[in-house]
Amino acid sequence: MTFIEFKKLLLDAEISVPKFSRLIKVNEKNIQSYKKKGKVPNTIAVIATCFAAMHKADIDYRRTIEELGLEQKTKKGAGFGHKKKNLKEPAADQEK
């Protein structure tokens, strides 16, 4: 699915990209990066299609998704939030 088709589905579902990303707990920058690529991943395409279909059928998809209790992923790779420990800390009794 192209990014343009994705945006049209979001319009059909009456949800913006920022609200969509918050609802599914995905960083908005990740969603916006698909604009440069021109296409969205299959999973994002399926979600947007389902949201549009549910909205058309007067199903409150927002509430349904919120009830899932999704959690935002945190960055765990090298360099994210890791502090290097000083292995050679001076001992308190070495000062004398």
CA distance 38 to 18: 18
User: Residue ranges per domain, the chain?
Assistant: 3-66
User: Distances from the Cα of 31 to the Cαs of 4, 47, 51, 54, 86, in angstroms?
Assistant: 12, 12, 16, 21, 38
47-88 pLDDT, tens digit per residue, is 999 999 999 999 999 999 999 999 998 877 666 555 555 555
Distances (CA, A) of 91 to 17, 54, 85: 54, 64, 15
> Measured between alpha carbons, how far apart are the two ends of the chain, in Å?
70
pLDDT digits (tens, 9 = 90+) for 41-50: 999 999 999 9
Q: pTM value? A: 0.73
Hey, what are 12's tokens?
């059909």
